[in-house]
Chains A and B, each alone.
Chain A
Amino acid sequence: MPRPKAPQLVPQLVCPAGSLPALKAAVDHGADAVYLGYRNETNARNFAGLNFDQKAMVEGIRYAQSRHRQVLMAINTFAQPGRAADWQRAVDGAADLGVDAVILADIGLLDYASQRHPALRLHLSVQGSATSYEAVNFAHREFGVRRAVLPRVLTLAQVETVIRNTPVEIEVFGFGSLCVMNEGRCWLSSYATGESPNTVGACSPARFVQWERSPGQMTTRLNGILIDSFGDDEPAGYPTLCKGRFAVDGETYYALEEPTSLNVLEILPAIAAIGVVAIKVEGRQRSPTYVAQVTRTLRAALDELGRDGERFHVKPAWQAELARVAEGSQVTLGAYNRPWR
């Protein structure tokens, strides 16, 4: 008789919820945890009509927790001068609601939460921009942080180094639009509009965005700055400064970064093997349909990894489904497989 295989450790799947239907889509399609935020600038996806009011929050938490899934609340912007109480109230509200953890970036807020709600589980947001085990261990020692979400700037080897040198659980991004990879430290949006994720909870806020159509062409501007123009059949992207095409030395190209999406399916076994505890899907601003599509695909992949371990291979159908919903025409492994250190 074959010996039973030791069960492969499979990372948790953490999915975005910008609305109640999105939360339910994530839970129904196999997310282990969902993350969400209030309808205000305490969360880094503060867009018109998005996110949860108190009533939707209560219902969403009940829906997820009654099905044994976790709810993580993102309060991941930085308290603005003179208004720290607004951010503290959000933490108090999360503790009252009984969420499984809060995701924080602001050191002052981490301090408040650890003192005021010692039983509340704290995760360090990607916006906290901790890229070394020293930074992660500092957050653990000072505030009792139990998990850190690493910014998408590290190679797989660097992620492994962090994991080997910290007792803190490590979560990494697995799928979604890629940012210029300077999370928590990026001020490009503020340069163009005076507002950025860390301050108002939105990168390139929609009220600064203009789409202009002319025959055969669409141009996009951010607060008047020309970001890009697209032919009628060319895929378009949301106009952030980092993903624009600019004329530099007589050449017009993506001078900062090409619009690409991250997709780690190919390196899922390696991610699991180095001990990553959770994989996060980007996209609280996307629809319930996107959440359902991405969640069920990654669930299928993670389940197969759990069953087949080293014999895991990526199914073309998964890649096709993920490629379709990705922003930009390219899907990459981001920094994980870059040779640089």
Chain B
Amino acid sequence: MNHGFSIPRFKLPGLIAAIGAQLPQWPHSLALATALNAATKLGLLREDSLALLEGRSFLVEVADVAGQASFTYRGGLFRPLFKVPANPDLSFRANLSAFLQLLARQEDPDTLFFNRELSIVGDTELGLLIKNMLDAVEWPQLPRLPILRP
């Protein structure tokens, strides 16, 4: 947990969002769904929790990049949604730095949520389930990326 390196809180300049909004969004959805399927295959996500995601739609928005990824879970697989659903069952929205801090387990999701740096909208119980499912993941010791070395 203590990597000797910490991700600062930052917000990318507006120009990046302006450019990002012009880019196609489907590669993000495809990449995220692929990553989630890889995690499932490694047995990192609990099966009984996964079963509760069946047929639900999700949207992840990286605000300062104007990037969106949406996906659903059906028949044991995460599947990218190439068209962003109008009313996803659950949507997460934050700046890139907050998502990175979450992934690195540097910040607590409740802390970010209470401080309004992470917005979660939709089915609250589903949101709690996702949060707890990700918290319960024991990440394998991956070789550290050079950029994250202190």
The interface of chain A, by Cβ under 8 A from chain B, is 18-22, 25, 28-29, 47-50, 56, 205-207, 209-211, 213, 230, 232-237, 285-290, 292-293, 324-325, 327-328
List 28 interface pairs A-B (beta carbons < 8 Å), by A numbering.
Answer: A18-B132, A19-B132, A19-B136, A20-B138, A21-B136, A21-B138, A48-B125, A48-B132, A49-B49, A49-B130, A49-B132, A49-B135, A49-B136, A56-B136, A206-B124, A206-B127, A206-B128, A207-B125, A210-B124, A211-B124, A233-B116, A236-B114, A237-B114, A287-B110, A288-B135, A289-B105, A325-B111, A327-B110
Contact status B1-A48, CB under 8 Å: no
With CB as the reference atom, state the residue of chain A lying closest to B106: A289
With CB as the reference atom, state the residue of chain A lying closest to B130: A49
What B residues does A211 contact at CB under 8 A? 120-121, 124
Q: How far is the CA of A298 from the CA of B108 in the complex (A)?
A: 17
Q: Which residue from B110, B124, B132 sits with its C-beta under 8 Å from A209? A: B124
In the complex, chain B residues 109-135 whose Cβ is within 8 Å of any chain A Cβ: 109-111, 113-116, 119-121, 124-125, 127-133, 135
Query: Beyond A20-B136, A206-B128, is A48–B121 a contact (Cβ under 8 Å)?
Result: no
The interface of chain B, by Cβ under 8 A from chain A, is 1-2, 46, 49, 52, 105-111, 113-116, 119-121, 124-125, 127-133, 135-138
Q: How far is the CA of A21 from the CA of B108 in the complex (A)?
A: 13
In the assembled complex, the CB of A232 is this many whole angstroms from the nearest CB of chain B, namely 7
With CB as the reference atom, state the residue of chain A lying closest to B109: A287
Q: How far is the CA of A290 from the CA of B129 in the complex (A)?
A: 17
In the assembled complex, the CB of A96 is this many whole angstroms from the nearest CB of chain B, namely 22
What B residues does A18 contact at CB under 8 A? 132, 135
Contact status B114-A47, CB under 8 Å: no
With CB as the reference atom, state the residue of chain B lying closest to A328: B114
With CB as the reference atom, state the residue of chain B lying closest to A234: B116
With CB as the reference atom, state the residue of chain B lying closest to A294: B108
With CB as the reference atom, state the residue of chain B lying closest to A205: B125
Query: Beyond A49-B49, A289-B106, A327-B114, is A206–B132 a contact (Cβ under 8 Å)?
Result: no
With CB as the reference atom, state the residue of chain B lying closest to A208: B124
Q: How far is the CA of A325 from the CA of B108 in the complex (A)?
A: 8
What B residues does A20 contact at CB under 8 A? 136, 138
In the assembled complex, the CB of B138 is this many whole angstroms from the nearest CB of chain A, namely 6
What A residues does B131 contact at CB under 8 A? 49, 287
What A residues does B137 contact at CB under 8 A? 21
Task: Name the residue in B106, B115, B133 with the highest tally of chain A Cβ atoms < 10 Å from its Cβ.
Answer: B115
Q: How far is the CA of A194 from the CA of B131 in the complex (A)?
A: 25
Query: Beyond A20-B138, A25-B1, A211-B124, is A49–B129 a contact (Cβ under 8 Å)?
Result: yes
Q: How far is the CA of A258 from the CA of B107 in the complex (A)?
A: 24
Q: How far is the CA of A25 from the CA of B105 in the complex (A)?
A: 11
Q: How far is the CA of A206 from the CA of B57 in the complex (A)?
A: 18
What A residues does B120 contact at CB under 8 A? 211
In the assembled complex, the CB of A210 is this many whole angstroms from the nearest CB of chain B, namely 7
Going nearest first, the 10 A-B pairs with the smallest beta carbon separation are: A49-B132, A290-B108, A206-B125, A48-B129, A19-B136, A209-B124, A207-B125, A289-B108, A49-B129, A206-B128
Q: How far is the CA of A22 from the CA of B114 in the complex (A)?
A: 20
